[in-house]
Amino acid sequence: MLQRVFAPKTFTGWHFLAIIAGYFGIVIGVNLFMAWNAVDSWTGLVVKNSYVASQQFNEVTAEKRAQLAMGWKAIPAYADGTMTLELHDARKAPIEGAIITATLGRPSYDAEDHMVQFAETGPGVYDGRTELAAGIWNADVTVTGAGGDVWTRTLRFTVK
């Protein structure tokens, strides 16, 4: 009598259909979730019109080479709501009297992008007030030197 109560059940086509439907349902659900997060977090656009940007490639490349030849360097730091840039030239002399602006943002998320103005607080040291959450940040820095030289650079840094 006990053998009949605990007899094994047969595996039918409906069981197989339920397993396959569950498997593909999970796979499709995860893919939809990942696609939604990818589209919602970053557009993927680097330039608005790639054709127009390609037409300016030679001019932009020449400008970047001229900026590299200047030998300027910026060292970013962030602590207690203050972003600090230390600027010096190729001879390690501080760059003084510059006007500095930067667009700060996440590398792959544009919702937190914002502009910061910097003020000189010492020889070659510039501070800008901003609140940044922990993580990786990009600073698109534009420096206009006292002599009118313009230097741009994208600096990546981490906020602890």
At residue 5, the pLDDT reads 65
Two structure tokens written together for 43:
């557009």
**Cα–Cα nearest to 153, from 59, 95, 42, 76:** 76
Per-residue pLDDT of the chain in tens (160 residues, 90 and over written 9): 555 666 678 899 999 999 999 999 999 999 999 998 887 777 777 788 999 999 999 999 999 999 999 999 999 999 999 999 999 999 999 999 999 999 999 988 778 899 999 999 999 999 999 999 999 999 999 999 999 999 999 999 999 9
What is the dihedral angle through the alpha carbons of 24, 28, 34, 38, rounded to the nearest 10 degrees? Answer: 150
Under 8 Å between Cβ of 72 and 89? yes
C-alpha gyration radius of the chain:
28
Under 8 Å between Cβ of 103 and 118? no
Two structure tokens written together for 97:
């009297």
Q: 19-42 burial string, b = 16+ CB within 10 Å, else e?
A: eeeeeeeeeeeeeeeeeeeeeeee
